[in-house]
Structure 1
Amino acid sequence: MPSSTSTASDATTALRRLTARDDAVFHDGQLEAIEALVDGHRRALVVQRTGWGKSAVYFISTLLLRQRGAGPTLLVSPLLALMRDQVAAAARAGVRAVAINSANPHEWDETRAKLAADEIDILLVSPERLNNPRFRDEQLPALIERMGMLVVDEAHCISDWGHDFRPDYRRLAELIGQLPSDLPVLATTATANARVVTDVAEQLGAEGDVLTIRGSLARTSLRLGVLELPGARDRLGWLLSHLAELPGSGIIYALTVSAAEDTARLLREGGHAVRAYTGRTDPEEREQLEGQLKGNELKALVATSALGMGFDKPDLGFVIHLGAPSSPVAYYQQVGRAGRATDNADVLLLPGREDKDIWTYFATSSMPSQERAAAVIGELNDVPLSTPALEARVNLRRTPLELLLKVLDVDGAVRRVQGGWVATGQPWTYDRERYERIAAAREAEQRSMLTYQHDSTCRMEMLQRDLDDATAAPCGRCDNCAGPWFPTGVDSAATQTASGTLDKVGVEIEPRAQWPTGAERLGVEAKGKIAVDDRAEAGRAVARLTDLGWGGVLRELFAAGAPDAPISDELLGACVRVLKDWGWAERPAAVVSIPSRSRPQLVDSMARGIARIGRLTDLGSLDLVGEGARSGPGGNSAYRLADVWGQLAVGPALADGLQSLGGKPVLLIDDRVDSRWTLTTAARELRRSGAGSVLPLVLAQVG
């Protein structure tokens, strides 16, 4: 084996080539990690702040191992944006890195050929790729035989205690168990508290022989602050007033897609070069937007958490949060995008009164419920069943169903194969105590986030303590240490402009055009395309529940325990504005409402009020002929349709009224829309009873 002196010399040479600086030296812990991997073939966990140089450890270790005859490194990385940055950084270090992911299937054959020819130093894959049947069964075994090192980036994702738990990451413990004990394994993260560190170290195995290198998580370049303003219009007004004053370019984080899109539109209309970046943004557009921000062509991206781990712009000048994340650990991860290679960067949190409601709204557990897990396992056997086919058999929407299948797969109860999923026959026990502990930890994180906002302790010190950093100490820079560094005033004209944006109403409701797969198994006598003559037209909602403006009013209206009451003049006025801006082909002649068990006064008063103001015929409501929805919100499409199928009917009086209209359009009124199946089945009944086009109007769109 080469001497440690030789390794240190070779590593320093590689570092200076990577940084293009002849005087570059290692940070504390970097060379220790490299020597442990290259000379000791150890398993190591590196927990260091963003910008410390974790990627330099695995790039340089790969170079040295390859020089000594080792095979390629397998790097498991969670995000496409992160992969793109890692491939580019590897090239600067003289490392030949290639990614296999969903965005480049046209390159997979070439990549396999390069691997066979030993022309790749690092292969980057997503954790999900590890369970792709073809990759897992045909390519991974050969790769394991040749692998020189395994790297797990953003390793907190392994742990269900981590802020961004990914079930597929848990497969890595199984993969690590297949590796020779002397094959070096490196796990890296910047956001792990003591509990996550212990969990990850245990999953790295080697009977506890894991070298943990943990440094201070203090970010001396960041200047943290919190500014509490009365409402959403004031926060948007602050951005309009002061965005141009912030240093360089940066990221504005929002809690919801609609908030990100609305904010980006407002700022663009105010003359700022910004764009929205969310889970709805196409992959190609995401890459383009990332490039524009890195090239300082944009002042900011207004983003959800879709722009997070690993996005690398070393000179990012600021991070603003329009609403607080639910965890200080997640907050630390996001603000860590700023000031990686600059002496100063500004970080400001603008919390909102609605934050806790949004946390609750989005609080979906990544842990399975016993009932749902048992239902899924019960539907599987040794004959593969695809996810869509399984979705029609259990009352779960596609995304939570896929998440549950991944958890059960990692637990060994089910297995993904060509053609779908099968049951393994292995016993599965629901670990209620563990899942309850995790839920309690999530609630504690929310309380810590509120403490961060309101406490007078140093902001950086609080974040460090939440990450169990023993070096936590006052930073001397944040607003609690040195006083507010940010302007607190909001220009009145900017506030008025923001108010105008927040007061906008009208969200399009796309009509259903296809009956869901498998609905016939649940007693629904419909499949395939919905006949054009049975369909609703595109409808309108006043706003989304998650909107910054009217969303607050609607969340209050539909909050658990809120009493039923007639519609307010304010909301009725908003409905009228939606109707005024609709632009329909033909004006509706009458109003029909969907009967409500939970809010009859609200729906009835809304329908009567619109009929009165619009001088439309009030035809009353459809009849309820069933017991109502049984599964409640959150179920999948087939079950949601089955719940409302046959529940609504056109009574004699309504039928006569529809006939008297002579085929003219009808406005269909309801309180809110989620799956759209209630509106779809109601429109079908109305069309079949003589109505012309059916135009749905609701107060709130869920999601």
Structure 2
Amino acid sequence: MSSSPHSPAAPTDGAALHEEALQALGALTGREEARFHPGQFEAIQALVAERRRVLVVQRTGWGKSAVYFLAALLQRRRGAGPALIISPLIALMRDQVAAARRAGVRAEAISSANPTEWRDIEEGLAADAIDVLLVSPERLVNPRFREEQLPRLVDRCGLLVIDEAHCISDWGHDFRPDYRRLRDLVAQLGTEVPVLATTATANSRVVADVAEQLGTGGADGEVLTLRGSLTRESLRLGSLSLADDRQRLDYLVRHLDSFEGSGIIYALTVSAAEDLASLLDRPGRRVRAYTGRTDPEERAELEQALKDNQVKALAATSALGMGFDKPDLGFVIHLGAPSSPVAYYQQVGRAGRATDRADVLLLPGREDRAVWEYFATSSMPSQESASQVLTALAEAGAPLSTPALETRVDVRRSALELLLKVLAVDGAVQNVKGGWIATGAPWHYDAARYETVARARREEQQAMLAYEALSGGPEQCRMVFLARQLDDETAVPCGHCDVCAGPWYPAPDAPAAAGDRPGEEGADERVAALLERVGVPVEPRASWPSGLDRLLGADAPKGRIPEGERAVEGRVIARMSDLGWAVPLRELLRSDEDGRPVDAVVPERIGSRIVEVLKDWDWEQRPAAVVAVPSATRPQLVSSLAAGIASVGRLEDLGALDLAPGAAPLRGGGNSAFRVADLWERFSVGEQLRSRLEQLDGAPILLVDDVIDTRWTMAVAARLLRRAGSGPVLPLALAQQA
């Protein structure tokens, strides 16, 4: 196929275009009798015949990908250049490339998963042998791609597609800053290049924001919005509130086989997903974990295993989300609720695309709100952090890599990467060869907007709680509720959710499904073993963070922490994200309404778990003494923990390290270099403690604190104790934050 840059297609007869598009649809679907859903051809016609800018908001499974693949193919036949599809996930790209090729569309993708193929793809683009190129929005930030490939793509682009377009909007449940860069890309294309944005999860506010991001439309100056009903007749929705983790896990063990086919069980945290997979997996009914920690190659294998029904379920975090396509997915279960009904709708929309019925069950948990709050507070940039970054880049005089910048600003790595993207999209910083630079462009922190977004997210959390509490008949239908959260007022009661028709799922005390061996024997024991499990290992820090000399001077430590100054592997009862003991630990370590940590003596129930941890600890030599980390926030809790351990274990209670006069509570967040700098002179070893350490003649000691977060407190304190003459230092705390 030949092409010329932005070559306008000749006027296309509507009937002829419809017939041509129908033939292409038959090739895409493999069914000659295939026909368009209402709105599909209208979108294709607007793109191909009128070169408009189109926003399509349609439910999952409606066929949005068919619109852009067919439009791309028809554009190519009319001499246009290749289509550029912005796609947010590697898994989604794989499915999209396969679908395009089935329709005879020559498609390729550039992502972090296939760097060895990039050169061949570039040569294919140069030879005009590629019809569709898929890239992630993050690729637009890559200096080489932006400088070498993007200008040529812009010059020849025949169609721009922005898939999962709700990611453009920071009002949306899945905002990705790099998507906002697409507004500039749209502007570069000019009005003669058709643009299509698609999403299945956008309310009116997000729709308006996305349309505004698309900018000026085509011939008539408007963005054409094609919005259909978002209800899904195949989904049978339900919500079952159980008292605690034990009841929820027992329910899944006993009744998972009651759910037909294969499906997804979503959990809110990585550790919960991994624990769930371990609990439910058995020969003949496989359940595997799929999280952000899963290797890319294994992710692809797991996705294919689910598509081929080789597993009963994937226990997954939101890492398995947008774009995963298994038309016959039989069920979606949530162990814990997402923070937004829109996010929930997006995840459950994976099920029942090509089946008459798919089951969707929510099992909300007591920990949900704490998890929501954690993610909400970690995703918003602060004015202080932004100012630190801009000042550091302006003063550097040369590009700074993210690790180098991290030594200059007190922002944790994940938050820093997000903030840089926000600033880059706003034009205040730029990613160039060698790192980041400040552009000098003025930048204003839009506090009012961020507060409005934060308020909207709090409202979404309340709406999710309202969804869980629905009852009272069809007037409170679950599908209607979700549709109206998306501002779809066309929804009518579904007639088969648990509110419309009564519970369709097994009652908690119902017998297990026939043949469900985990339900028949050993279920109680396995659930109890998981929930009562205590003693999570905590790896010690092995190296000092780079850049400490900027904060502590020329004598700052660097490189590997010497073996003789390093803590050994420690223990906590549980991670705060775990199932089971995380719930009482979160309650014990809570803050009051004013945000002040609640301080109390360690309760007997928690103390007995610490004793279990100590009994099961496979140390080389039994510790001889206990030292406490002095706490400015929970002194009573830490001192009672240390004293209790010393008493029960018949260990010498050496008291606590000295706390620097006037030491304030440590700040939350921040990065490793700044945390170490904050800790460096915070503690000291008093003369009495030093003398008693020397008398122990190198015996191991337990170093006790309430919570282990970054692990730097234990690293710095262990160094002090070792240099004062102690033996091996074994960190011990109630919980670990991550």
Q: Is residue 2:86 matched to residue 1:76?
A: yes
**Matched position secondary structure for 2:280:** helix
For residue 364 of structure 1, report the CA deviation from its aligned partner.
2.6
Give the Å deviation of 1:33.
0.6
CA contact (8 A) 1:73 1:147 kept: yes
Q: Distance in 2 between matches of 1:362 and 1:196?
A: 20
Instruction: Name the aligned partner's letter for residue 36 of structure 2.
Output: F
1:337-385 deviation per Cα after TM superposition (whole angstroms, max 9, x unaligned): 0001111100000111221122112223544222211111111125211
Q: Of 518, 524, 527, which residue of structure 2 is paired with 1:498?
A: 527
The answer (yes or no) to whether the contact 2:266–2:334 under 8 Å persists in 1 is yes
Cα 1:506/1:334, change in 2 over 3 Å: same
**How far 1:508 moved relative to its partner?**
1.4
2:444 is matched with 429
DSSP-derived class of the 2:318 partner = coil
Matched with 1:452 is: 467
Structure 2 CA distance for aligned equivalents of residues 161 and 673 of structure 1: 34
Aligned to 1:194: 204
Report Cα offsets for 1:200-259 as digits up to 9, x if no partner.
111111255111111100101100001111111101011001101111000000111111
| AA matched with 2:44 | I
The equivalent of 2:393 in structure 1 is 380
Equivalent residue in structure 1 for 2:571, among 491, 516, 540: 540
User: Structure 1 vs Structure 2: percent identity of aligned residues?
Assistant: 63
- Confirm or deny that 1:351 pairs with 2:386: no
Q: Secondary structure at the match of 1:151?
A: strand
Structure 1 residue 495 displacement after superposition: 4.6
Corresponding letter in the other structure for 1:506: G
**Is the CA contact 1:637–1:675 (under 8 Å) kept in the aligned structure 2?**
yes
Q: Deviations over 1:251-288 (max 9, x none)?
A: 00011111111111111269741011111111111111
Unaligned runs of 5+ in 2: 1-9, 512-518
Matched, 1:515 2:544: yes
Contact 1:257 1:304 in 2 (8 A): yes
TM-score (norm 2): 0.93
Q: AA paired with 2:536?
A: V
Q: CA deviation at 1:494?
A: 3.4
Contact 2:633/2:665 (<8 A) preserved: no
How many angstroms apart in 2 are the aligned matches of 1:25 and 1:227? 39
- Aligned partner of 1:529 in structure 2 is 560
Q: For residues 367 and 648 of structure 1, what CA distance do their matches in structure 2 show?
A: 32
1:27 correspondence with 2:37: yes
Q: Number of aligned residue pairs: give it.
A: 703
3-state SS in 1 of match to 2:377? coil
Match of 2:647 among 585, 608, 612: 612
Q: Residue in 1 aligned with 2:516?
A: none
Deviation string 1:406-436 (CA, Å, 9 cap, x unpaired) is 1111111111111111111111112111111
Letter of the 1:587 counterpart: R
Q: Distance in 2 between matches of 1:625 and 1:431?
A: 38
**1:628: how far off?**
3.1
8 A contact 1:234–1:495 mirrored in 2: no
For residue 489 of structure 1, give the secondary structure of its aligned residue in structure 2: coil
In 2, the alpha carbon distance for the partners of 1:629 and 1:264 equals 42
1:160 matched residue in structure 2: 170
Q: CA deviation at 1:563?
A: 3.3
CA RMSD of aligned residues (A): 1.5
* Corresponding residue of 2:724: 689
In 2, the alpha carbon distance for the partners of 1:271 and 1:698 equals 39
| Correspondence for 2:507 | 488
The range that moved more, 264-273 or 475-484, is 264-273
Tell me which of 673, 697, 700 is aligned to 1:665: 700
> Partner of 1:273 in structure 2?
286
Q: Pairwise mapping of residues 174-189 of structure 1 onto structure 2 (< 5 A)?
A: 174-189=184-199
In the alignment, which residue of structure 2 is the partner of 1:150? Answer: 160
What is the DSSP-based 3-state SS (H/G/I as helix, E as strand, rest coil) of the residue aligned with 1:362? Answer: helix
Tell me the distance in 2 between the aligned counterparts of 1:223 and 1:195.
27
- Summarize the alignment of residues 553-592 of structure 1 with structure 2, pairs less than 5 Å apart: 553-561=584-592, 563-592=598-627
Within 1, Cα distance between the matches of 2:447 and 2:656? 45
Cα distance per residue 1:158-206 (max 9 Å; x no partner): 0111110000000000110001211011000000000111111111112
Q: Is the 8 A contact 2:590 2:598 kept in 1?
A: no
CA contact (8 A) 2:203 2:485 kept: yes
d(CA) in 1 for partners of 2:249, 2:378: 31
Q: Distance in 1 between matches of 2:734 and 2:322?
A: 36
Contact between 1:628 and 1:643, CA under 8 Å: does it hold in 2? no
Q: Which residue of 2 aligns with 1:87?
A: 97
**Aligned with 2:405: secondary structure?**
helix
Name the residue aligned to 1:471. 490
* CA distance 1:627–1:389, change in 2 (3 Å): farther
**In 1: Cα distance, 2:208 partner to 2:635 partner:** 53
What is the CA–CA distance in structure 1 between the aligned matches of 2:193 and 2:61, rounded to whole Å?
27
Give the corresponding residue for 2:127. 117
| Farther-moved stretch of structure 1 (164-173 vs 537-546) | 537-546
- Spell out, residue by residue over 1:90-131, the C-alpha distance to the aligned partner (whole angstroms, 9 max, x if none): 121111111111111111111101111111111110000001
| Deviation (angstroms), 1:674 | 0.6
Do the aligned partners of 1:259 and 1:548 also contact (CA within 8 Å) in 2? Answer: yes
Write the distance in 2 (CA, Å) between the matches of 1:330 and 1:627.
45
Give deviations 1:292-343, integer Å, cap 9, x for gaps.
1111111001111111000111110000000110000000000000001111
**Aligned equivalents of 1:66 and 1:317: distance in 2?**
37
Secondary structure at the aligned position of 1:9 is classed as helix
Deviations 1:619-638 (A, max 9, x none): 22211135435660101111
SS at match of 2:281: helix
2:4 matched residue in structure 1: none
Partner of residue 45 from structure 1, selected from 35, 55, 66? 55
Query: Of the candidates 294, 306, 329, which is equivalent to residue 293 of structure 1?
Result: 306
Post-superposition offset of 1:470: 2.3
Query: Which amino acid is 1:570 matched to?
Result: R
* Partner secondary structure for residue 540 of structure 1: strand
Q: Which residue type is aligned with residue 37 of structure 2?
A: H
Q: What residue in structure 2 maps to residue 461 of structure 1? A: 480
Amino acid at match of 1:397: R
Secondary structure, aligned partner of 1:206: coil
- Within 2, Cα distance between the matches of 1:93 and 1:627? 70
Q: Which residue of 2 aligns with 1:419?
A: 434
Please report the TM-score for the alignment, with normalisation by the length of structure 1: 0.98
What is the Cα deviation at residue 82 of structure 1? 0.7
User: Which residue of structure 2 aligns with residue 57 of structure 1?
Assistant: 67
CA distance in 1, matches of 2:598, 2:432: 50
Asked if the contact 1:626–1:646 (Cα under 8 Å) also holds between the matched residues in 2, the reply is no
Match of 1:550 in 2: 581
Which among 165, 170, 187 is matched to residue 180 of structure 2? 170
Q: Contact 1:630/1:643 (CA < 8 Å) preserved in 2?
A: no
**How far does residue 516 in structure 1 lie from its aligned partner after superposition?**
0.8
State the partner residue of 1:443. 458
Q: Write the letter of the residue equivalent to 2:580.
A: G
CA distance in 2, matches of 1:318, 1:682: 49
Which residue of structure 1 lines up, in the alignment, with residue 689 of structure 2? 654
**What is the match of residue 364 of structure 1?**
377
Secondary structure of the residue aligned to 1:315 is coil
Q: Is the 8 A contact 2:48 2:194 kept in 1?
A: yes
C-alpha contact 1:627 1:647 (8 A) present in aligned 2:
no
The offset of 1:645, in angstroms, is: 0.5
